[in-house]
Structure 1
Amino acid sequence: MVRMPPRTRTATPTRADLVLADIRADILNGRLAPGSRLGFAGLGERYDVSTGVLREVLPRLVEQGLATSESQLGFRVIDVSVDRLQRLTEARVALDTLVTREAIAHGDLAWEAGVVATHHTLARSGGENEAHDISEDWILAHEAFHVAILGGCPNEYLVDAAVRLRSISLVYRVWSAPAAERAHRDVEQEHREIMESVVARDSDRAAELTVAHIRRSTDLLISGRPADAPVA
């Protein structure tokens, strides 16, 4: 089971932190389907948790971009479609390239070391497990690597916005056929080239590779989606 904690964590996770990680993992691995209702009664039974804890957790999922909330309709997992994914991709391309350039321009030696260290961990993490879930080690390492790069940007508002869009994009991984994305690309080489361009402080190359990395993911996710997946 993939557990992805929120970016900000206390030293000792609270009950809400743990439930948030469990619900997030179920969304990212498709056990809570895109568009499905997140009702208090159903979630309370599923995760053995009180309504009070869920009232804290569900708005945090909305903040992370993984759920929506509407008056009278309650909470739902975000919906997915080709149109939404394409618009999300354009937003990520614009924001990630800006934040990456800012990170390269302003990141210090500690930031650079963090990028190298998280890439080292990512390179030694697994992929999918036998149940076709994305492995916990890989998804955590993958997120840590990209967030480490973005974290060199001194504008925390830009960084937070970029990380939120990354969270939303992860939902689309469950929309595609198992292993479709990783089977048709050398994602390890893509990450290595991004890391090397960042460490070399080559902002143009890093931006070019980042755009290709994001767009390649989108193209493969769309081509690998089920025939009955929504178009818009």
Structure 2
Amino acid sequence: MTGPSAKTTRAQEVYDQIRDRLLTGELEPGSRLKLNDFVEGYGVSLSVVREAVTRLAGDGLVQASPQRGFAVMSLTIEQLLDLTRARVLIETMALAESIKLGTVAWEAAVIASHHELANTPMLTPDGVINADFTHAHRAFHDTLLSGCGSSRLQGVATELRACSELYQSWSQQLAHDDTRDIACEHRTISELTVARDEDGAVAALRDHIERTTAALVRYAEEAAESATA
């Protein structure tokens, strides 16, 4: 296959590969992305790599600047707290609307997406985030909100969550909280949602989002203290 469609397909493949490396923490916070390394590593043109990385910048996973080019998003407490607040406001609103308006088919989709998530290992044998888990996790949260009856509201929630996926991955790779039972958190959200317990499901989702943020804030503060010690 040649021509524009082939380039689009390769750009998608490179986008997926770099995205997975970002989400597994292989590419560290604030590190500069060397586009020529991707060109050599993936055997594609610079224009294909640039298209993929530009998409990642649009997703909020990569920062672009005239001076530095492209770099992995930095871990800043201020940005994290702002993103978390926006996610809580939007996602809990969309979940509440889904519980009010969602159909039986939506309930079945929530159960199915949770089943897939619950049966997908979070970590690979090497101890890094499993890309399949990342995809299943994204699908579960998308499905929770898919009954809200508003594609615009769901789109805003999806966009905010895409920006937060890097933070979620860092929470597991850099700031793992041994006191959490994330599988239990997902199960609780799923069960309360299907039971149409709006207050309970909203509270569980809020806690789920905020606990990830709290772990990263602790990590960032401890890292800053170590750097100045």
Shorter-chain TM-score bucket reads: 0.7 to 0.9
2:44 corresponds in structure 1 to 49
Given the alignment, which residue of 176, 200, 215 partners 1:181? 176
Given the alignment, which residue of 28, 31, 39 partners 1:33? 28
1:105 corresponds in structure 2 to 100
Alpha carbons of 1:15 and 1:117: their partners in 2 closer, same or farther (altered >3 Å)?
Answer: same
1:88 corresponds in structure 2 to 83
The answer (yes or no) to whether the contact 2:185–2:208 under 8 Å persists in 1 is yes
Q: What do you get for the CA RMSD once the two structures are aligned?
A: 2.5
Alpha carbons of 1:154 and 1:62: their partners in 2 closer, same or farther (altered >3 Å)?
Answer: farther
Residue 75 (str. 1) matches residue 106 (str. 2): no
Q: In the aligned structure 1, how far is the partner of 2:111 from the partner of 2:160? A: 23
2:213 corresponds in structure 1 to 218
* Rg larger in structure: 2
Q: In the aligned structure 2, how far is the partner of 1:34 from the partner of 1:24? A: 13
Shift of 1:188: 1.6
Q: Which moved more, 1:21-30 or 1:67-76?
A: 67-76
Q: In the aligned structure 1, how far is the partner of 2:107 from the partner of 2:164? A: 25
**Whose helix fraction is larger, Structure 1's or Structure 2's?**
2
Structure 1 residues without counterparts, runs of 5 or longer: 1-9
Say which SS state the counterpart of residue 69 (structure 1) adopts.
strand
TM-score by length of 1: 0.84
Say which SS state the counterpart of residue 228 (structure 1) adopts.
helix
Q: In the aligned structure 2, how far is the partner of 1:88 from the partner of 1:66? A: 13
Q: In the aligned structure 2, how far is the partner of 1:178 from the partner of 1:91? A: 24
Shift of 1:225: 4.7
Q: In the aligned structure 1, how far is the partner of 2:173 from the partner of 2:35? A: 30
Query: Aligned AA for 1:200?
Result: A
1:60 corresponds in structure 2 to 55
Query: Aligned AA for 1:171?
Result: L
Say which SS state the counterpart of residue 14 (structure 1) adopts.
helix
Q: In the aligned structure 2, how far is the partner of 1:153 from the partner of 1:168? A: 21
Structure 2 residues without counterparts, runs of 5 or longer: none
Alpha carbons of 1:153 and 1:229: their partners in 2 closer, same or farther (altered >3 Å)?
Answer: farther
Shift of 1:229: 4.9
Q: In the aligned structure 1, how far is the partner of 2:201 from the partner of 2:42? A: 42
Residue 167 (str. 1) matches residue 186 (str. 2): no
